[in-house]
Amino acid sequence: MTCVICKHGIPQPGTTTVTVERPGTLVVFRQVPAQICPDCGERYLDAEVVETMSTVAEAAAATGTEVDVRVYRPIQA
Ligand SMILES: [Zn+2]
């Protein structure tokens, strides 16, 4: 897959830090698995990963957590 942003780089597997915001809540996920473009730095996240982070952020918002920093972990089915 060629990067859709710079149309040049080939994204490689790696990890990154992603911040997810919900009203009143900020959750920072570290070591999130992603494909990262070596040329422009664009990150490509799996839909499943995005959904997991969204679920965790909403749970944090529901419990009134204002800021949370955590290592990304897949939700066990
Ligand atoms: Zn790129």
What single-letter amino acid sits at 34?
A: A
Which tens digit of pLDDT belongs to each residue from 10-25? 999 999 999 999 999 9
**Triad 40, 41, 45: Cα angle to 5°:** 130
64-77 tens-digit pLDDT:
999 999 999 987 66
Q: Identify the pLDDT of residue 48.
A: 95
Whole-number Å distance between alpha carbons of 58 and 26: 10
Residue 5 Cα to ligand 1 middle (Å): 5
Domain ranges of the chain: 12-71
Q: What is the whole-number distance in angstroms between the Cα of residue 42 and the centre of ligand 1?
A: 5
C-alpha R_g of the chain: 14
Of 3.30.420, 1.10.150, 1.10.3470, 3.10.20, the CATH number of 12-71 is 3.10.20
Strands (E), 1-74: 12-22, 25-36, 43-44, 67-71
